[in-house]
Amino acid sequence: MASSPALELPPAPSRALAGRLIGGWGAFAAWLLFCVAALWLFRHEIAALSFRDPDDALRLQQVRDWIAGQSLFDVTQYRINPPFGGPMHWSRIVDLPIAALIELARPLMGMERAEIFACAATPLLLLGATLWATYILTKRLGGAGLALMAGLLLLTSPSILVQFTPLRIDHHGWQILLGAIALAGLFDDRPLRGGLIVGMALAVWLQISTEALPYTALFAGLLGLRFLLSPGEARRFAAFASTLGSSALLLLVMTRGWQAPLAQYCDSLSAAYIWPLIAFGGTSVLAWRLIGTASYSRRFAVLAVGAGAALLTFAFAGGPCLSGDPFKALGPFAYKYWYLQIREGRPIWEQDLVTRGVIILPPLIGLIGAWLAVQKAAPRSDQRFAWCLLAMVIIGTTAVSCMVMRALSFAHVAALPATAFLFLHLLKRAQASPKAVVRVLGSSALILLSPAGLCATWVAATSKNGGIGNGALASCQTAEALRPLASLPRSVVFAPIDLGPDILVKTHHSVIATGHHRNAVGITAVIKGFTSNPRAAHKLIRELRGGRGADYVVSCNSMNGFLYYSEISPHGLGAMLEKGRHPDWLKPVPATGTLHIYKVLP
């Protein structure tokens, strides 16, 4: 595919080389500047390991267990609902760089400081890799200048950067990075290499999260479209199809064991999904060789055979996964009172007005930019087709983010090249004006089209409290607040779900549940315990763990999750504790701040 600048005539070779160098080094310098700023802004949180999300805390605990000798293939958290343990669906791929940085730094600074270093550095390194992939992608669409602008927009996009701040060590940054790499492969001018890159990136993404499934279908459809329109794209499509299935199988065995391809899970890569991928890759390549690519009808037949084989295999291997919602396995109680309350996993029509705008507006600006780029490109050129393809990517990724709110970050990354095109085009028009006021005010006003300016303006115009989010870090989750609990003998704690991971990381205790769905028994028990009347709650807590019960009950009035128990059951145990009262089977333990600890009496 042609890779010529979209906004100006191709420069001389020396100027082109200089532009590439300046663009690449400029993006690198911007990333370094962001790293310095982020480390400074988050310095207090970093020093105290104050995670903003419980998943980040539990990720560190998973890495600790692995370093301490837990098997590569065993990701069960045995301090959740002991002695049974909390089964997890997470991948060691995300643990790998964190563990590697800890092991590299531990001889130099000790275990505690090594953990802090790894948790601060890992998200920033992932951001650097995402910036590089976005730069390569945009450069293929419009040259080094456009790529630099896209990189600068990325480094000022709150909806993207929120997944790359220090201590954000869970898998969300990985998903954005792998999506950006797949996009770069989609527009690679070398078909074979591009297909291999897309297939490998999606195969790794599928190991990390089945949230990659709709994107796998999207990329398969776009690569199939390229193949249908041009027989020269056969190598790209075949490389993608074969790499996707084979790499996914190999990585599955390497990270989860030889039995993993035979296991049946709907929330992670397993037999339900791996065999359809293998069927898709094998039959697509075989059909390509047998049917050929001489005509539209032949190429369509190749695509139909591959897709048909994948769908047929899924129909036989999918089992319960055919229902499409793995969280139904939680049971109706936990599904209603826990899963449906997780706003980031809900569709756009269940969000407030502020969040809807934040999801939709940046991709909308990107679509406008893509349309403009199509109009500016030469008719029937590779460049025009590339911008059309990017517009389809923006539409597809935005559709996914409308179904699951937390997917918005990747949709915003996909829109960056087109947003950068629109930004530079309007900047050029403003600077060409003979009037100084137009040049100054017009150029300055363009900041409103950036993802940061756009979202800030929308939030300011529609939000009553001036912002959105899940709330500040609850004071109960800090090491200082948990210190009284940490001083108690090792025990099992009945605590709010979102407080569980911090208790695991910052104390030696175990908990009944965290917000991880495979432990449906523990999640249901915690919610029922805090929402039942005190007498029923006592009976439930004493019968936990096969009659072993919990030793302590912990409450936290500054946590939204805990206050929710009072909302759904005003006369339950949680509501009583929130009002400062407790039943006679609980004995208060001295604590500080908003954390309240109670010993469970016989």
Structure confidence at residue 5 (pLDDT)? 40
Please determine, for residue 470, whether its predicted confidence score (pLDDT) is greater than 70: no
For residue 114, the Cα-to-chain-centroid distance in whole angstroms is 25
DSSP designation for 380: T
Least confident of 27-36, 151-160, 475-484, 514-523: 475-484
The predicted-structure confidence for 517-565, as pLDDT tens digits, reads as follows 999 999 999 999 999 999 999 999 999 988 899 999 999 988 888 889 9
Please determine, for residue 12, whether its predicted confidence score (pLDDT) is greater than 90: no
3-class DSSP assignment, residue 91: coil
The answer to whether 545 and 367 are in contact (CB under 8 A) is: no
What H or E segment, with its residue span, contains residue 307?
A: helix 296-317
3-class DSSP assignment, residue 155: coil
Please determine, for residue 114, whether its predicted confidence score (pLDDT) is greater than 90: yes
The predicted-structure confidence for 314-360, as pLDDT tens digits, reads as follows 999 988 888 777 788 788 999 999 998 888 989 999 999 999 999 99
Least confident of 248-262, 307-321, 421-435, 457-471: 457-471
3-class DSSP assignment, residue 2: coil
Structure confidence at residue 18 (pLDDT)? 52
Please determine, for residue 408, whether its predicted confidence score (pLDDT) is greater than 60: yes
Output 486-493 pairs: Cβ under 8 A, ≥24 positions apart.
Answer: 488/552, 488/589, 488/597, 491/550, 491/551, 491/552, 492/82, 492/544, 492/545, 492/548, 492/549, 492/550, 492/551, 492/552, 493/550, 493/551, 493/552, 493/553, 493/554
Q: Which two tokens stand for residue 333?
A: 């109680």
Structure confidence at residue 182 (pLDDT)? 98
Please determine, for residue 407, whether its predicted confidence score (pLDDT) is greater than 50: yes
pLDDT-derived band at 465 (thresholds 50, 70, 90) equals low
Please determine, for residue 269, whether its predicted confidence score (pLDDT) is greater than 50: yes
* Domains of the chain, earliest start first: 189-323 (no CATH), 475-600 (3.40.50)
Q: Are strands 552-556 and 492-494 parallel, antiparallel or unpaired?
A: parallel
How does DSSP assign 38-76, residue by residue? HHHHTHHHHHHT--SSHHHHHHHHHHHHHHTT--TT---
- Judge if the upstream peptide bond of residue 158 is cis by omega within 30 degrees of 0: no
Judge residue 138's burial from the number of C-beta atoms within 10 Å of its C-beta, 0-12 exposed, 13-18 middle, 19 or more buried. Answer: buried
Residue partners of 436: CB distance under 8 A and separation at least 6: none
- Helices (H) and strands (E) counted in the chain, each on its own, are 24, 5
Structure confidence at residue 441 (pLDDT)? 81
Q: Which two tokens stand for residue 596?
A: 């309240």
The predicted-structure confidence for 181-222, as pLDDT tens digits, reads as follows 999 999 999 999 999 999 999 999 999 999 999 999 999 999
CB atoms within 10 A of CB 82: 15
Q: How far apart are CA 141 and CA 5, in angstroms?
A: 7
Q: How far apart are CA 454 and CA 538, in angstroms?
A: 51
Q: How far apart are CA 480 and CA 409, in angstroms?
A: 33
Structure confidence at residue 466 (pLDDT)? 45
Structure confidence at residue 474 (pLDDT)? 60
Range 2-14 average pLDDT: 44
Q: Which two tokens stand for residue 303?
A: 């695509």
Q: Which two tokens stand for residue 47?
A: 């020093």
The predicted-structure confidence for 234-260, as pLDDT tens digits, reads as follows 999 999 999 999 999 999 999 999 999
How does DSSP assign 383-439, residue by residue? HHHHHHHHHHHHHHHHHHHHHSGGGHHHHHHHHHHHHHHHHHHHHHHHHT-S-HHHH
Structure confidence at residue 443 (pLDDT)? 77
Reported in sequence order, the residue ranges of 529-585 that DSSP labels E, i.e. its strands, are 552-556
DSSP designation for 581: -
Q: Which two tokens stand for residue 196?
A: 């291999």
Q: Which two tokens stand for residue 549?
A: 């019960």
Q: Which residue has the tokens 């994107």?
A: 215
Name the amino acid, one letter, at 151: G
Per the prediction, the chain carries an average pLDDT of 91
The predicted-structure confidence for 70-82, as pLDDT tens digits, reads as follows 999 999 999 999 9
Sort residue 490 into left (φ over 0), alpha (ψ -120 to 50) or beta: beta
Structure confidence at residue 169 (pLDDT)? 97
DSSP designation for 552: E
Q: Which two tokens stand for residue 78?
A: 């045995």
Give the up-direction half-sphere exposure of residue 9: CA atoms within 13 A in the CB hemisphere: 1
